[in-house]
């Protein structure tokens, strides 16, 4: 399935954010949201990518936006990874049924059984404003996200 | 993004530049004084600059990854504070040569070794001006597609290739040759 593109309604989801808590897409209604799908906790490029987004978080929040990252790793794995890397945003587990949410966004690699390296910027109504599929071995950087947040029409921007 | 990442802010008066002002080739590094890879890149950039004397200019901008490297912001501020007394590059070199010792006491000690006004250094270190400079560097890096440290830009375009000495030298020399003959 192709990566979901601009204009599509983002598929709703409810995923574990910690071993005993869930987060839903609807929880972010009224705010802009950056969704970052990535292949795996602990792998080298993902670590660098999330470390970068961790630093860029204050710049993202200036656009009234939140940031969440999604992979197929389990909640306990996410918890250890998040603590080790001092990540300041939620890591969601697309763990059971495995990869179901990633698939709905067109951001799943069937053969590897992992999420693709993909970025989405959603407006406050949950409509996709920008999406980007990165080559799996390359850290995409954060310039695309910021440019997308900047280009959100004023009426779309969450008030 | 990929393949089209360009320097969003060209080299300007607020930059620290080594090498000749009119050089046809510009190398910009976004780096973190506490990052081990940047520590490996430090002597490489220095040797390349010596080798390409007159042809290359080199600018260093701060890109501290604060959550991974707790002393990185302080080290960046120390370099900028030394820069306000004309000693940016001397401090830059000391920091990369002493990456294991970037605690505040050590930074003050380096200022003393550089024989700059230590009281002014301590004041500038905490000043909004220096804080803004470090943040401005970081933000320009993010907007240019910096995706880790070190990230290099050659004549304004992100260089994603190998930056070991001979590879970097070869790439820069071929850019220099193009600049001269095209």
User: ipTM of this predicted complex?
Assistant: 0.84
DSSP state of A3: P
Instruction: Retrieve residue A20's tokens.
Output: 């005993």
**Chain A touched by B39 (CB under 8 Å):** no
| H-assigned helices in chain A | 44-61, 75-85, 100-104, 143-150
- The residues, ordered by sequence, that sit 6+ positions from B17 with a Cβ below 8 Å of its Cβ are B11, B57, B58, B59
Of all helices (H) and strands (E), which one includes residue B157? strand B157-159
Domain with A129 in it: what CATH number?
Answer: 3.40.30.10
Tell me, yes or no, whether A4 lies in a domain.
no
Residue A47 has pLDDT above 80, yes or no: no
Tell me, yes or no, whether A134 lies in a domain.
yes
* Domain span holding position A61: 28-150
pLDDT of residue A46: 67
Tell me, yes or no, whether A11 lies in a domain.
no
Cβ atoms of residues A35 and A53 within 8 Å: no
Kindly list the residues from chain B whose CB atom is less than 8 angstroms away from the CB atom of residue A49: 147
pLDDT of residue A135: 86
Among residues B10, B59, B8, B146, the alpha carbon closest in space to that of A56 is found at B146
In total, how many domains does chain A have? 1
**Chain B touched by A56 (CB under 8 Å):** yes
The stretches in chain B having pLDDT less than 70 are 1-4, 181-182
Tell me, yes or no, whether A132 lies in a domain.
yes
Tell me, yes or no, whether A87 lies in a domain.
yes
Q: Which domains does chain B have, with CATH numbers?
A: 16-181 (3.40.30.10)
**Chain B touched by A2 (CB under 8 Å):** no
- pLDDT category at A48 given cuts 50, 70, 90 is confident
Residue range A92-136, pLDDT digits in tens? 999 999 999 999 999 999 999 999 999 999 999 999 999 999 987
Tell me, yes or no, whether A104 lies in a domain.
yes
Q: How far is CA B21 from CA B13, B47, B54, B156, in A?
A: 11, 18, 9, 16
Pick the residue with more confidence: A45 or B32? B32
Tell me, yes or no, whether A22 lies in a domain.
no
Tell me, yes or no, whether A20 lies in a domain.
no
Average pLDDT of span A26-52:
91
pLDDT of residue B97: 98
Which residue's structure tokens are 């900028």?
B80
- The residues, ordered by sequence, that sit 6+ positions from A90 with a Cβ below 8 Å of its Cβ are A17, A23, A68, A69
Which residues lie across from B31 on neighbouring strands?
A: B62
Nearest CB among B1, B65, B142 relative to A132 is that of B1
Q: Going by DSSP bridges, is the β-strand pair A118-122/A32-37 parallel, antiparallel, or unpaired?
A: antiparallel
Residue range A51-97, pLDDT digits in tens? 999 999 999 999 999 999 999 999 999 999 999 999 999 999 999 99
A77 classed as catalytic: no
Cβ atoms of residues A59 and A102 within 8 Å: no
């Amino acid at each position: 399935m192709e990566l979901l593109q601009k204009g599509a309604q983002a598929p709703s989801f409810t995923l574990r954010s910690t071993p005993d808590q869930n987060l839903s897409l609807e929880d972010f209604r009224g705010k802009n949201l950056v969704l970052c799908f990535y292949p795996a906790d602990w792998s080298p490029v993902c670590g660098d990518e999330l470390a970068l987004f961790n630093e860029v978080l204050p710049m993202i929040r200036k656009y009234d936006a939140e940031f969440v990252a999604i992979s197929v790793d389990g909640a306990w794995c996410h918890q250890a990874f998040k603590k080790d890397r001092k990540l300041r945003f939620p890591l969601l587990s697309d763990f059971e049924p495995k990869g179901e949410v990633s698939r709905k966004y067109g951001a799943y690699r069937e053969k590897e059984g992992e999420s693709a390296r993909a970025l989405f910027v959603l407006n406050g109504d949950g409509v996709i404003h920008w999406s980007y599929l990165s080559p799996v071995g390359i850290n995409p950087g954060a310039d695309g996200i910021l440019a997308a947040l900047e280009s959100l029409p004023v009426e779309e921007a969450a008030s | 993004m990929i393949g089209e990442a360009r320097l969003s802010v060209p080299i300007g008066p607020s930059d620290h530049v080594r090498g000749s002002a009119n050089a046809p080739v510009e190398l910009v590094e976004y780096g973190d004084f506490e990052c081990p890879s940047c520590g490996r890149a430090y002597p490489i950039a220095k040797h390349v600059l010596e080798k390409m004397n007159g042809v290359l200019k080199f600018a260093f901008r701060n890109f501290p990854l604060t959550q991974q490297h707790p002393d990185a912001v302080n080290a960046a501020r120390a370099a900028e504070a030394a820069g306000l007394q004309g000693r940016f590059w001397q401090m830059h070199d000391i920091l990369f040569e002493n990456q294991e010792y970037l605690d505040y006491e050590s930074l003050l000690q380096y200022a003393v070794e550089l024989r700059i006004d230590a009281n002014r250094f301590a004041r500038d270190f905490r000043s909004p001006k220096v804080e803004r400079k470090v943040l401005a560097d970081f933000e320009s890096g993010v907007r240019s597609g910096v995706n880790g440290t070190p990230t290099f830009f050659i004549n304004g375009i992100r260089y994603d290739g190998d930056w070991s000495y001979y590879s970097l030298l070869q790439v820069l020399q071929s850019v220099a040759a193009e600049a001269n003959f095209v």
